[in-house]
Every structure is written in structure tokens, then in C-alpha cells.
Amino acid sequence: MTVLGVNVDHVATVRQARQTNEPDPVWAAVAAELGGADGITVHLREDRRHIQDRDVRVLRETVAVKLNLEMACEPRMTAIACELKPDQVTLVPERREEVTTEGGLDLLALGDRVTATIDQLHQAGIEVSLFLDPEPAQIEAAHGLNVAAIELHTGQYALATGDSARQEQLAMLHQAAEQVLALGCALHAGHGLNYHNVRPVAAIPHMHELNIGHSIVARALMVGMQEAVAEMKRCLGFPVSRAVTDR
Ligand code: PXP
């Protein structure tokens, strides 16, 4: 069964809007775990727009499930990760002006920088996942990097409007998934997934982990974090007790 990593960045976004101490992403992580989250994901951005260093430190001590730290391929971030030792680091691209992560890493452009980062993380005993677009050349470039997982960027799938565009994006994800599995990596996916579009992605053979943030936090505002996570878990194959997943 596909496991669910819940991204709690946007709880920190609300807190940072007032530069105060609530709501705390640590509370959200506890509620997410109670709702059935298999992992907690946070993105420590270089501009610290939402998650702060303190959040990652406290989460490292309190999260009982897998802690996945998303970060840019930068020496300062690598040093923080090596000190805090999350269970997994997902390397993502980062641009200051973006609203959210806009695409996968460009492995072809990053070259040795990504290799050096992966080596340091491995030496610290941290598993590495690479966030990549479902593009054959990018996935091929991961050959030999020895990473545990590749997370396919589902943003274009989520944005596609109309059946044929969505099916086209889904077909690309299926092909990319086969390539990821052929490399011997675990198959992860995320970005833009919600209660209505998640099931075809979860149904990709051998899909191991989905990382979902915005839609869960948005729903949590209405129904609470624990229930929002439980509803997403039902979408991933737990017994569905609500019509919401059928819309
Ligand atoms: N996976 C990665 C690598 C991401 O950068 C993000 C956004 O932080 C997500 C998953 C979650 O995306 P969303 O908030 O759209 O569910």
C-alpha cells in the first residue's frame, strides 16, 4: 500500500504571516500522525519563509514516523541536514521568487554538486530522494547516484485540464515510474496532489510514497488535521467511508 508523507509547511506559513508562535507545525505533525500519516515532510527553504530551523530540530525529536526534509542542493542546507539527521532528505530545486517548488531538479545542470551533496548525506546515514520531472533524460541522469528513491513531480499532471491532457500526463508518469524502478530506486511522487486527483497516481504500480501538503492543510482548516489526513489515507486505499473521494 502507498504510504503518505504529510507536508506541514503551510501550517508554518500561517504562523509566519504574524511572526508569532502559532499555529505550530509540530502540533500539526502530531495530529497528522494521529490521522495515520506515515511520514512528516518539511521544506527548509533558504529564505525561511515558512519552516524554521527550530521546527526541524523539534520535529526530529518528536516525530515518531519518518521525517523527510526537503532542501536545496546547498552546502549550508547539507550541513544542517547532516547535523539533524532526518530519515530522508529530498533534494529539490529552489528559486526565491517561486510561490512553491516549480519543477524537478535539473540533474544535467547540477552535475558534481548533486553528487557531492548525496555523498555527504550518505556519510551521515541519511537516505536520499531526488525530486525529478517525469523526463527520461533526468531520470537517466540519476543512474549511478545510488539514491534510495526518486520522487516524480506530479505538478503538470495536477495542472492538466481535460481528460486527454490529464491522461497524457499520467502516461508520462507511468513511463517515468518504470524507468525509476529499473534504476532500483523506490518510487515516490508529489506536488499538486489532492483528494480528487490522487488515486490514478497512487495506482501506478509499485508507487511507494506520496508527499502531499497544500490540499491536506487546506482541508484541515475545515475538518481538522487528523480528519484531513484520515480522509487522504482513505483515498489511498483505506476503507472509504465518505462520498468526498468520489466527486
Ligand atoms: N513534494 C515536493 C518535493 C515538494 O516540494 C512539495 C511542496 O513543498 C510537495 C511534494 C507537496 O506539494 P503540495 O503542497 O502541492 O501537495
- pLDDT tens per residue across span 131-146: 999 999 999 999 999 9
**Ligand 1 centroid from CA 42, angstroms:** 9
Please tell me the class of the 3-240 domain: alpha beta
**Ligand 1 centroid from CA 244, angstroms:** 22
Is 70 a pocket residue for ligand 1 (Cβ < 6 Å)?
Answer: yes
Bridge-based pairing state of the strands 207-212 and 3-7: parallel
Paired residues of 189 in beta bridges: 152, 210
Q: Whose CA is nearest to atom 5 of ligand 1?
A: 101
Query: Which of 68, 69, 98, 191, when mutated, tests ligand 1's pocket best, judged by the most ligand atoms within 8 Å of its CB?
Result: 191
Is 131 a pocket residue for ligand 1 (Cβ < 6 Å)?
Answer: yes
Q: Judge whether residue 243 has pLDDT over 50.
A: no
CA 230 to chain centre: 18
Could you tell me the residue ranges of all domains in the chain? 3-240
Q: pTM for the full model?
A: 0.94
Instruction: Give the separation between CA 216 and CA 193, rounded to whole angstroms.
Output: 9
User: What contacts 242, CB < 8 A, 6 or more positions away?
Assistant: 231, 234
The cell numbers describing 159, all together, are 495542472
Per-residue pLDDT tens over the stretch 14-23: 999 999 999 9
